[in-house]
């Protein structure tokens, strides 16, 4: 371990004990931490343009004084506008949802701004540009330079940190030890570590900055993928149950299904069966679009386990989904001599004890429940396969609990809708991936329309016509009751309005989460039997409801739903051969909501929807803040840098394939760096 990994940042020239505490608050404790405290942005002063020479549609850096400043609080967000005068002309700068900027850009302030020149009718305007105050930052006056801007706490300033960073680089940069071989650097077009660390902080040109950034982005992806490759190789050292599949068992399973499996389903089953026949535990992700038939594939795999005298289990993220799985599998396996139980949270003590006894003795073949089924009081006699239904939860902790066992069961992870490519290479990067590419024959794409208020009447008339033709439909609301605070209509009040005023001649029913279980079951059965034309509901119906005659999906306040949710809801219709429709009612002016609704109109392909969802929300919001298994990335971007992620993964997996323990001389440094410098970032992945 080099000294920079253990030397306190206090000993960098210009820091000292007091400033050291402020840096520690930033997560910077050692010299190495400081070297890796990269800029969050750069401002290029090399080409400040007079305002009267800026070109509409192009990037520009301008300098001038604030001559006017106004804040407007709109219905959606605050908007702050300033006018900048440099003596040659005036340009407007607009900041959306950044009210704190008003405290900085007061009238008379000398400021440098950088951004794209745009505006209505070719008016000169910079929208949410980067900016630097000349007074507080004398380095902003240095033209011909690219100046770094660092993440800070309130007690530190940019000028001081740049000076400290220069001191740190001068004294310690040469102590950074290169961990790649010369051949590796050349093959992947990467600068050496010493060169890259200097250039990422103080690049002389945009090309230097980009080269340095590429090096450290590659490093982040590479060590993440190296850790995943190590984890996958470790699993291969564990033993799993070995299953056989003979023609009679295959035929018996297929006879139970209501449909003939498609060629796409058969293709992924070949991959799954190959895993089940292997002495190593299966660790596979099964993905496919809504309605592509993932459940039947999972059921087939579970029946293979049961046919080999093992037990199978499904873990669902919620009790509602566990109950839906229980209903689905009970229906599919109604003619099979297979014992299924649902371990529900509402079970009585006696009922639960009876179920647990059946599981422990092996009388129960298939267990369905939430993640509680892997708790210590649930003892399986011979667990052979676990299906983890993740439904966008993207968790890894449940898989960790399963793979911690000495004899590991086969694990099949099933997602509700397709996942972004980056997710398959990161959170699920240690799994093999099976993808059901096609849909069952006869399916027609659902026609989707975004309905603004002016077209509401026309839409309801069209829906009435569809119901009169004998089709059925859903009307989904984001809340049960009206919410003045959120400005939302609720399912209960809207049900009365729809049934009395809008569509009084259409038989309809109401379904929501506050109803008793028996009431919900009665309503759903009546809807399946065709007694109602419309079902007014909350997003309870997002998953698991399958009524082949349903051909209309109406989503009210559709801007309140995420893309994955909207795609799931749309997947409740279009399950028969008839043409189906999805209407997204919304008066939104939100840019992101508009992008979501436009994406729904453009495509019914769940794989494209997943990629668009990630682009709109960004990785942070998409994955959430829970233990999702995504490592912390300082400079790399999962969306923008996907090609680099792919390249880093290929290199990492190739190295582990050739040197599983990283024991070759050229790889020992890689092992050390992964286990020290990148350990914290990789902890969530359970691969450190």
Q: Regarding predicted confidence, which is higher, 209 or 46?
A: 209
**Does residue 484 carry a pLDDT above 60?**
yes
Q: What is the mean pLDDT of residues 406-425?
A: 81
Residue 403: pLDDT band with limits 50, 70, 90: low
pLDDT at res. 427: 75
**Does residue 398 carry a pLDDT above 70?**
no
Expressed in percent and rounded to 5, the helix, strand and coil fractions of the chain are 45, 20, 40
- Report the mean per-residue pLDDT for the chain: 87
Rounded distance, CA 203 to CA 196, Å? 9
**Does residue 480 carry a pLDDT above 80?**
yes
pLDDT at res. 143: 47
Residue 59: pLDDT band with limits 50, 70, 90: confident
pLDDT at res. 684: 46
> Mind giving me the DSSP string for 90-151?
EEEEEEES-TTHHHHS-TT-EEEEEEEB--GGG--EEES-EEEETTT-GGGG-TT-EEEE--
pLDDT at res. 172: 94
Q: What angle do CA 421, 423, 427 make, to 5 degrees?
A: 150
**Does residue 446 carry a pLDDT above 90?**
yes
**Does residue 37 carry a pLDDT above 90?**
yes
pLDDT at res. 392: 46
The tokens describing 262, both together, are: 């498609």
pLDDT at res. 625: 45
Q: Which residues lie closer than 8 Å to 458 by C-beta, 6 or more apart?
A: none
Residue 2: pLDDT band with limits 50, 70, 90: low
For residue 412, how many other CB atoms are within 10 A of its CB?
27
The tokens describing 116, both together, are: 């794209």
**Range with lowest mean pLDDT among 115-119, 165-169, 265-269:** 115-119
Rounded distance, CA 20 to CA 7, Å? 12
Q: What percent of the chain has pLDDT over 90?
A: 51
Helix (H, G, I), strand (E, B) or coil at 472: strand
Asked if residues 123 and 92 have their Cβ atoms less than 8 Å apart, the reply is yes
Residue 439: pLDDT band with limits 50, 70, 90: confident
Asked if residues 429 and 396 have their Cβ atoms less than 8 Å apart, the reply is no
Residue 687: pLDDT band with limits 50, 70, 90: very low
Domains of the chain: 3-38+157-199 (1.10.150), 42-149 (2.40.50.140), 257-436 (3.40.50.300), 447-603 (3.40.50.300)
Asked if residues 321 and 329 have their Cβ atoms less than 8 Å apart, the reply is no
> Mind giving me the DSSP string for 191-245?
--HHHHHHHHHS-SSHHHHHHHHHHHHHHHHHHHHHHHHHHHHHHTTSB------
**Cα 95 from chain centroid?**
28
pLDDT at res. 171: 94
Q: Regarding predicted confidence, which is higher, 486 or 655?
A: 655
Residue 153: pLDDT band with limits 50, 70, 90: confident
Most confident among 65-79, 479-493, 548-562 (mean pLDDT): 548-562
The tokens describing 432, both together, are: 């093999």
| Helix axes of 591-602 and 606-623: crossing angle, nearest 10 degrees | 160
pLDDT at res. 407: 63
pLDDT at res. 189: 96
**Range with lowest mean pLDDT among 203-217, 433-447, 596-610:** 433-447
Q: What percent of the chain has pLDDT over 70?
A: 91
505-547 pLDDT tens trace: 999 999 888 888 788 888 888 998 999 999 999 887 655 567 8
281-330 pLDDT tens trace: 998 999 988 888 888 999 999 999 999 999 999 988 777 788 888 988 89
82-134 pLDDT tens trace: 999 999 999 999 998 888 889 989 999 999 888 888 877 667 899 888 888 87
């Amino acid at each position: 371990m080099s000294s920079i990994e253990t030397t306190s940042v206090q000993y960098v020239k210009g820091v000292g004990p007091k400033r050291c505490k402020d840096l520690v608050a930033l997560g910077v404790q050692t010299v190495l931490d400081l070297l890796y405290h990269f800029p969050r942005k750069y401002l290029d002063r090399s080409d400040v343009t007079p305002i009267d020479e800026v070109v509409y549609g192009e990037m520009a850096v301008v300098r001038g004084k604030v001559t006017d400043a106004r804040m407007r609080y709109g219905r959606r967000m605050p908007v702050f506008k300033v006018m900048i005068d440099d003596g040659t002309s005036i340009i407007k700068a607009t900041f959306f949802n950044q009210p704190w900027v008003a405290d900085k850009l007061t009238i008379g302030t000398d400021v440098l701004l950088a951004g794209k020149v745009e505006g209505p009718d070719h008016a000169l305007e910079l929208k949410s540009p980067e900016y630097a105050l000349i007074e507080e930052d004398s380095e902003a006056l240095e033209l011909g330079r690219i100046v770094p801007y660092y993440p800070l706490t309130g007690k530190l300033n940019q000028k001081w940190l740049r000076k400290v960073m220069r001191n740190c680089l001068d004294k310690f940069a040469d102590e950074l030890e290169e961990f790649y071989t010369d051949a590796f650097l050349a093959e992947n077009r990467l600068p050496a570590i010493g060169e890259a660390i200097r250039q990422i902080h103080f690049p002389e040109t945009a090309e230097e900055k980009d080269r340095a950034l590429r090096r450290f982005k590659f490093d982040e992806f590479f060590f993440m993928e190296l850790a995943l490759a190590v984890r996958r190789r470790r699993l291969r050292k564990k033993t799993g149950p070995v299953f056989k599949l003979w023609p009679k068992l295959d035929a018996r399973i297929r006879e139970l299904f209501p449909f003939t499996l498609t060629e796409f389903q058969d293709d992924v089953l070949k991959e799954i069966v190959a895993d089940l026949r292997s002495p190593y535990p299966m660790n596979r992700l099964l993905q496919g679009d809504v309605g592509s038939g993932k459940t039947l594939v999972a059921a087939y795999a579970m029946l293979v386990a049961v046919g080999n005298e093992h037990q199978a289990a499904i873990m669902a993220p919620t009790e509602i989904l566990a109950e839906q799985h229980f209903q689905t599998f009970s229906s599919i396996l109604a003619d099979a001599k297979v014992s299924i139980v649902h371990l529900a949270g509402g079970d009585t003590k006696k009922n639960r004890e009876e179920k647990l006894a059946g599981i422990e003795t092996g009388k129960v073949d298939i267990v369905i429940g939430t993640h509680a089924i892997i708790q210590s009081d649930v003892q399986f006699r011979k667990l052979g396969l676990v299906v983890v239904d993740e439904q966008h939860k993207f968790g890894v902790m449940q898989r960790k609990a399963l793979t911690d066992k000495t004899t590991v069961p086969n694990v099949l992870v099933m997602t509700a809708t397709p996942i972004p490519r980056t997710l398959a290479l990161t959170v699920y990067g240690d799994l093999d991936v099976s993808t059901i590419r096609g849909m069952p024959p006869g399916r027609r794409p659902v026609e989707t329309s975004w309905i603004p208020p002016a077209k509401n009447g026309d839409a309801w008339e069209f829906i009435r016509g569809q119901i009169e033709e004998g089709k059925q439909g859903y009307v989904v609301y984001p809340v049960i009751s009206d919410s003045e605070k959120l400005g939302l209509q609720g399912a209960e009040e809207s049900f009365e309005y729809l049934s009395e005023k809008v569509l009084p001649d259409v038989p309809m029913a109401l379904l929501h989460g506050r109803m008793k279980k028996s009431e919900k079951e009665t309503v759903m059965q009546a809807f399946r039997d065709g007694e109602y034309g419309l079902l007014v509901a909350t997003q309870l119906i997002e998953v698991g409801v399958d009524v082949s005659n349903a051909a209309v999906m109406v989503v009210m306040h559709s801007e309140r739903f995420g893309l994955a949710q909207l795609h799931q809801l749309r997947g409740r219709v279009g399950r028969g051969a008839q043409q189906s429709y999805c209407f997204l009612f919304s008066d939104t002016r939100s840019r992101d909501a508009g992008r979501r609704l436009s994406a729904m109109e453009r495509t019914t392909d769940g794989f494209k929807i997943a990629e668009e969802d990630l682009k709109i929300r960004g990785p942070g919001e998409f994955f959430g803040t829970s233990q999702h298994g995504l490592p912390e990335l300082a400079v790399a971007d999962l969306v923008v840098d996907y090609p680099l992620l792919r390249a880093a993964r290929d290199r990492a997996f190739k190295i582990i394939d050739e040197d599983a323990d990283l024991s070759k001389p050229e790889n020992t440094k890689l092992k050390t760096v992964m286990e020290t410098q990148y350990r914290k970032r990789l902890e969530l992945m359970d691969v450190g």
